[in-house]
A and B are shown apart, each in its own frame.
Chain A
Amino acid sequence: MPGDPIITVENLSKRYLLGHQALADTLRDRLGHGARRALGFLRLGKRHEKPKIEEFWALSDVSFEVPRGRVMGVVGRNGAGKSTLLKILSRITEPTTGRVRMRGRVASLLEVGTGFHPELTGRENVFLNGAILGMSRSEIFRKFDEIVAFSEIEKFLDTPVKHYSSGMYVRLAFAIAAHLEPEILIVDEVLAVGDAQFQKKCLAKVSEVTRDDGRTVLFVSHNSAALQSICDTGLWLSQGKVAGEGPINECLAAYLRTGSNQVVFSAPSEEKPHITSISVDSRSLAEGRVQVAVGFKSPFPLSPPIVGVLISSKFGQPISGSNGRMAGDRWKPGPVRAGVITAHLDHVPLHSDTYLISVYLGDSIMDYDQRLEAVEFNFVSPRFYPQMPPLHVIGPSDFEWQWSLKED
């Protein structure tokens, strides 16, 4: 039945024990523990210390379903439990409680080129990695030419991969992964690597297989643009719990609305004016606006306090920046020692992507402090272009182009 869920997750929880005993313990710890207990017994009155074990619930009571043929994006902050969820679904680790039922062959891709050996040639690694990902030898033989063609590295097939550039390495690894034929594909943040053109080729391949073969994909990414373009539903995890579920755009927007991307700095020295915090307001981000609040503190009054904000692409290319000095007469606050200056941008002509923010602090004459690429934020553009070329081709700016035609 097509409407049947292919993945059913019920009340899934995973507990990790933190503390010296839980992780790779040595015999000495075990023996030492026994010895300490014996000593504690001798030295009456002195209570022996219990080994400190902390519990950490990476996932708690997570339930959801994925219908067949759906591409579900999993979003959430670092540490929200996304990776743990994927590890359980990939059978790498066991849940503490709960149940998962998957109705189909599963392949998971938590890393690019898992098991690649630098000393082996590209050809040898195709077979090794294919087998690691669960392909049989005959399956790899059958798809070998296709994999090599997809990877575009024919010439270097018999070179050890330690001599490959990172781009070639990633291409080969992706090419193998792209030729897996599971019914359920689980993908972690692997598309974050590799050049954009090849990423696009892989995304296209994923869309192709899901559309044509009805494959189900579970996809974790921090790249909003990628999530928007290939997923139809979203699952939002927060502190190990399901915080939201629904169409990907709503899910992403809800996730991005929460909290703010904030960094707080400790002062390098109190003798010099310094930036104390930077925060990007997520609520306005979700509405397509950018608000950067910069906290500052100074031993002497700044007259006037000047803050500079620079937005750059995730690769660090500057896109747009401004500061109070550029505002001229419109920015004339009196002398201040401490406070928060907020920069507002109501119309942000940017495409959906991850961007970096750098912040500068000064007065009318000079700069005192700077925090380069200190905060990153995911911008989800309210505009959506179905036929959009990749960002490295058209750039991150989204100007409002007009078109006209004069017929001859």
Chain B
Amino acid sequence: MSGLPLSHPGSASADSENDLIIEAGRASSNYWSDLWRYRDLLMFLTMRDIKVRYKQTVLGVGWAVIQPVITTIIFTFVFGKLAGMSAGGVPYPLLVLAGLLPWQLFSAALSGSSASLISNANLISKVYFPRLIIPLSSLGVALIDFLVVLVLYFGMSIWFGRIPSWHWALLPLFIVAAMVLALGAGLWFTALTVKYRDFRYIVPFFVQVGVFISPIGYSTGVVPSWRNLLDLNPITGVIDAFRWCLLSDGQPFDVRGILCSIAISAVLTLSGLQYFRKMEKTFADII
């Protein structure tokens, strides 16, 4: 709609190219251009979720910061002090927060998107738009929270006297990697949650377990023998890449880890998209 001049009666769509055909099983040929056309909706839905979340709260956006700060303190105490794990010369809180950043982006996007279709059921049963917009808007919300915490990390890094190196320039790449991974897993869970409400309980549990089987509270350097197993967890590669960017602690860049994670993300996202688009047509009927 945007940008296109409003067609005048009579002259409108004389060519059959623009005709909208509705048929059973017909994949909408202009799905991706529709998605682009509805980009403003994506923005408004993201803004809505962010605004609504912090309305009538005293601390407002402060909540986006408090959670990671407390988690960082607890993990620093448990892993750094009690378990005495090594951070390889980096202040332990920085190590934890650098790992927590991608994890939070991933887990918030995942839990947000898997619940998103159910909580927007009224939209789905009343209006057409590419359904992909809804999980994508959850991804947008997670990204904005992430950016707030990234600023916090930046402050902490300066406070600990660590000046960002050129590695920081590559960070956007790994942010994208984390988001693609979250999108892939999110699409699967989103579509499955509509059909099987069980996933409403599975996803939080999955996220809870994920905190411990991902190297968030500790560096992968301290568990070399578990390395292969850890790499099967696609978030490991992303966390390592984040640490490489943010900590600049002289550790070599772990190519294998990130490749593992990119490969898994690609498979998840492509199959997730396919499954989502297949299920999408029935959402309004089963939601």
Residues of A in contact with B (beta carbons under 8 Å apart): 2, 16, 22-28, 30, 68-69, 87-106, 108, 110-111, 114-115, 117, 119-120, 124, 127-128, 131-139, 160, 181, 183, 213-215
Contact = CB atoms under 8 A, between A and B. Distances in A.
Given A99-B22, A106-B20, A69 B9 contact: yes
A357 to B, nearest CB: 33
State the majority secondary structure of interface residues on A.
loop
B10 A2 contact: yes
B146 to A, nearest CB: 23
Given A26-B197, A103-B13, A183-B9, A115 B2 contact: no
Contacts of B286: 22-24
B23 A110 contact: no
A31 to B, nearest CB: 10
Contact of B48 (A87, A96, A101, A128): A128
B226 interface: no
A93 B280 CA distance: 9
A308 B35 CA distance: 60
B6 interface: yes
Contacts of A87: 284
B1 A139 contact: yes
A99 B195 contact: no
Given A24-B287, A214-B9, A127 B44 contact: yes
A124 B194 CA distance: 28
B127 A119 contact: no
Nearest to B10: A2
A126 to B, nearest CB: 10
Interface string B1-28: 1110011011011001011111111001
Contact of A131 (B9, B13, B41): B41
Interface in B114-160: 122-129
A214 B10 contact: yes
B171 interface: no
A242 to B, nearest CB: 17
B23 A98 contact: yes
A2 B123 CA distance: 34
A100 B37 CA distance: 22
Contacts of B122: 111, 114-115
Interface string B52-95: 10011000000000000000000000000000000000000000
Contact of B44 (A24, A93, A131): A131
Contacts of A110: 126-127
B3 A25 contact: no
A98 B123 contact: no
A105 B45 CA distance: 23
B196 interface: yes
Nearest to B21: A101
B167 interface: no
Nearest to A160: B55
Given A94-B24, A95-B22, A68 B9 contact: yes
Given A101-B19, A214-B9, 4 more contacts: A104-B13, A120-B51, A136-B2, A137-B44
A89 B125 CA distance: 13
B180 to A, nearest CB: 25
A134 B22 contact: no
Contacts of A103: 12-13, 16, 18-20
A94 B28 CA distance: 11
A136 B287 CA distance: 27
A114 B21 contact: no
Closest 10 CB pairs of A and B: A136-B2, A214-B9, A91-B128, A100-B22, A131-B41, A137-B40, A27-B198, A102-B20, A114-B126, A131-B44
